[in-house]
Amino acid sequence: MFTVELEYDYALIRTLDEQDRHEDVEVVIGDEGEVFILQFNESTQKNSVIAMSLQQLVDLYAAMDSPEGLFGLEVKSGKQ
């Protein structure tokens, strides 16, 4: 299950573990292409954060359906 919230300068995607084994994961995608992945860490009582580019996020998504090897993708902006 996931939710999508669209704000003025970012989108927030939240995915919930339906078997309740892991904390929710939040993906914040800014309008400048920056991506932050957050997950609450029980042991530290803080969010763990990963920062990456939109290209890296697209690469991760594409890699899930790819065979072994080296690949390159081109992300095209929807902005005109």
* pLDDT tens by residue, the chain, 80 residues: 999 999 999 999 999 999 999 999 999 999 999 999 999 999 999 999 999 998 899 899 999 889 999 998 876 766 54
For the chain, the first-to-last Cα distance in angstroms comes to 32
Within the chain, residue ranges assigned H as helices are 54-63
Residue 9 phi, psi dihedral angles, 5° rounding: -125, 15
Inside any domain, residue 11: yes
Give the chain's domain count.
1
Inside any domain, residue 79: no
Inside any domain, residue 25: yes
Q: What is the pTM assigned to this prediction?
A: 0.82
The pLDDT of residue 77: 66
Inside any domain, residue 60: yes
Inside any domain, residue 36: no
User: The domain containing residue 12 runs over which residues?
Assistant: 1-30+47-66
CA distance 79 to 27: 21
